[in-house]
Amino acid sequence: MKGNEALAEGAIIAGCRGFFGYPITPSSEIAEYMARKLPGLGGVFFQAESELAAINMVYGGSSTGKRVMTASSGPGISLKQEGISFIAEAELPCLIVNVSRGGPGLGGIQPSQADYFQATRGGGHGDYRLIVLAPSGAQEMMDYTIEAFDLADRYRTPVMIMAEGTLGNIMEPIIVRKPEEKSYDKSWAITGCKGRKPNIINTLHLSSEVLEERNRHLAAKYKLIEQNEKRAETFLTEDADIIVVAFGLMARIVKKSVMEARKKGIKAGLIRPITLWPFPDEHFKKAAETVRLILSVEINMGQMIEDIRLSVNGKVPVEFYGRIGFTPNPEEITKQLLLLAEREGF
Amino acid sequence: MKTVFKKPESLTDAKFHYCPGCTHGIVHRLMAECMDELNIRESTIGICPVGCSVLAYDYFNCDMLEAAHGRAPAIAAAIKRLMPDRTLFTYQGDGDLASIGMGEIVHASVRGEKITVIFINNTVYGMTGGQMAPTTLLGQVTTTSPYGRSKDNEGYPAKMAELLAQNEGSAYICRTAVNNPSNVIKTKKAIKKALQTQIKGVGFSMVEVLSTCPTNWGLSPLDSMKWLEDNMIPYYPLGELKVKEDK
């Protein structure tokens, strides 16, 4: 299956019955898949007039308690930020997918990881965070999507899947796993007040006390997510002198370079953050005890490197290698590792 | 003793925060009376705007959601599609609907979304302090058109009812006013008809209600009613602009 289709099928398996979107390359196959499948499943596929309308349809859709989603790419995700801020404050579960491309501006449709800051810092106005999952292949496009809906319901928060454009188009075999059915309390949903008091979904807090209380409540929830949900994959890190950090498909490419470097006698390893937020800082704190150098490889001009530096807190030098418009290939990363090892005398 | 007048069940006990002479209260009550009479309070979901009526979620005794500025029709459309047997209404002012939300309202109408829109046109941004709206009349002085709105500088006022009436998806479009008892009764009839149009599944419905803003107009409540009649009704003529009976 194509990555975008695996993601869409994952959403259907997870019980998503509302898709609200606007066409944009390289995410459009998700909308097209949902347009074909959802009507036959009693679901709603709705092509919105704009990205703004699409995210507000997600706001409305998730307020009914049903599982809903949208998918877009950089310029569209920028337009959606207003709505995402409202959804985060209203504590509505939903999935937002960014099949990301190069920016800034209209940028280009080449795969990119340049929306890392936007995704991991909230993105819109106010104090909030999104849980951000970064799959590295078509199978994970499906599996993480299924999991994203559960995380969204568990914490009543929007979850983002961030996948560089290549992951949307990659064609790989998929094993479909049926998730265990979980039920969540959705007594907050607006469905008509028959037999109960009216429910209100609102993000306006005119009183200073209530505004602060709401922000403290959200902050406590984000703290809990940080405690429970940090995830990373490690590869050959135990004895490593140099650790490469990469996420998404980039991490799979780096794995090859790490193996090549090992063949040449360099003790290289890989840490692949799976949750971009919460950032898996413990993995880095641990690595900082033994490792001599960290190299962040990103398809941007250096964004995740800031989180790595915060995590190691000056204990280890952190260097950067990145490109945009191109995805670095295994040979050029291996070359970087050889250059660094020679310079440092590893 | 026989009860001759009471608060509609579709309004809560909360006190309105509106300024003296503001007509939001009248329209809230009319909407609530219609919900009572059609027995739809428990199946209705209302979407409030950003503007003076942002707190409408405190006043309507049904499930309510507070939208981002201008986005209420998109939200209502999504909920209606997911739950087609519910009644959806949006309650929006002129800044919300005709300015920042122009895209959402036009497309909801074009597509024929089965929702009902109550559009309060009082020619100014009320909550932010009387700035020019798309519906501000030519010559009208506001805080952001201090020399009076001119066709050459600020451009012409938007006629939303006429604009939306031409769309195939619009099933019921009516403009009313609440400046005298007769027009208040006509407004209630229009709101009821709009809701019935939605319930019958015919298409998009909107009632544009010409309203007053004494605070930002700098007029007494009574003078405001007269100003509405003398200035607004000639430019925004009252009456039904679109009535589609069948699906």
CB proximity B61 to A under 8 Å: yes
Residues A119 and A264 reside in one and the same domain: no
CA distances from A226 to A53, A80, A142, A155, B112 (A): 31, 24, 23, 12, 44
Which residue, of A181, A197, A229, is where some domain finishes?
Answer: A229
A311 shares its domain with A223: no
Give the count of beta carbons closer than 10 Å to the beta carbon of residue A127.
14
Mean pLDDT score of chain A, rounded to an integer? 97
Name the minimum distance, in Å, from the CA of A202 to any CA of chain B: 5
Instruction: Give the residue numbers spanning the domain of A237.
Output: 233-344
- Is the domain of A208 the same as that of A281? no
Given a contact cutoff of 8 angstroms between Cβ atoms, the answer to whether B246 and B196 are in contact is no
- B222 vs A: CB within 8 A: no
Q: Are residues A9 and A141 in the same domain?
A: yes
How far apart are the C-alpha atoms of A85 and A97, rounded to whole Å?
A: 15
Residue A136 C-beta-side C-alpha neighbours within 13 Å: 18
My answer on whether A156 and A15 are in the same domain is yes
- For B155-238, where are the E strands, in sequence order? 170-177, 204-210
Let me know whether A188 and A322 are in one domain: no
A40 and A155 part of one domain? yes
Assess whether A29 and A69 both reside in one domain: yes
Q: Would you state the pLDDT for residue B68? A: 97
Q: How many percent of chain A have pLDDT more than 70?
A: 100
Residues of A in contact with B51 (CB under 8 A): none
Confidence of residue A55 (pLDDT cuts 50, 70, 90): very high
Question: Same structural domain for residues A91 and A240?
Answer: no
Q: Which spans in B83-143 are helix H?
A: 94, 102-111
Q: Say if residue A79's pLDDT is above 90.
A: yes
Q: Looking at residues A137-151, what average pLDDT do you find?
A: 98
**10-residue block means of pLDDT along chain B (247 residues)?**
93 96 97 98 98 96 98 98 98 98 98 98 96 98 97 98 98 98 98 98 98 97 98 98 89
Q: Which of A176, A200, A229 is the last residue of a domain?
A: A229
Among A193, A203, A204, which would you mutate to test the B interface (most chain B Cβ atoms within 10 Å of its Cβ)? A193
> What is the CATH class of B24-243?
alpha beta
Q: What is the CATH number of the domain that holds A42?
A: 3.40.50.970
Q: Is B107 in CB contact (< 8 Å) with chain A? A: yes
**pLDDT tens digits, A125-136:** 999 999 999 999
- Cβ–Cβ < 8 Å for B53, B35: no
Interface contact B228, partner A, CB < 8 A: no
pLDDT at B246: 78
A213 shares a domain with A107: yes
For the stretch B217-227, pLDDT in tens is 999 999 999 99
Predicted local distance difference test score (pLDDT) of residue A228: 98
Report the C-alpha gap between A307 and A312 in whole angstroms.
9
Mean pLDDT of the region A32-44:
98
Same domain as A210, residue A62: yes
CATH of the domain at A247: 3.40.50.920
Contact residues on chain B for A17, CB-CB shorter than 8 A: 82
- Looking at A181, A203, A229, the residue that finishes a domain is A229
pLDDT in tens, A289-346: 999 999 999 999 999 999 999 999 999 999 999 999 999 999 999 999 999 999 998 8
**Same domain membership, residue A194 and residue A214:** yes
Q: Contact A74/A103 with Cβ under 8 angstroms? A: yes
At residue B245, the pLDDT reads: 84
| pLDDT the model gives residue A248 | 98
Query: Which A residues in the span 190-229 are in contact with B, Cβ-Cβ below 8 Å?
Result: 190-195, 198-204
Q: How many domains does the structure of chain A reveal?
A: 2
Q: Hunting for tokens 């986005």 — which residue is that?
A: B71
**Per residue in A3-21, pLDDT tens?**
999 999 999 999 999 999 9
- Are B57 and A202 in contact (CB < 8 Å)? yes
Q: What is the C-alpha separation between A287 and A281, in angstroms, rounded?
A: 10
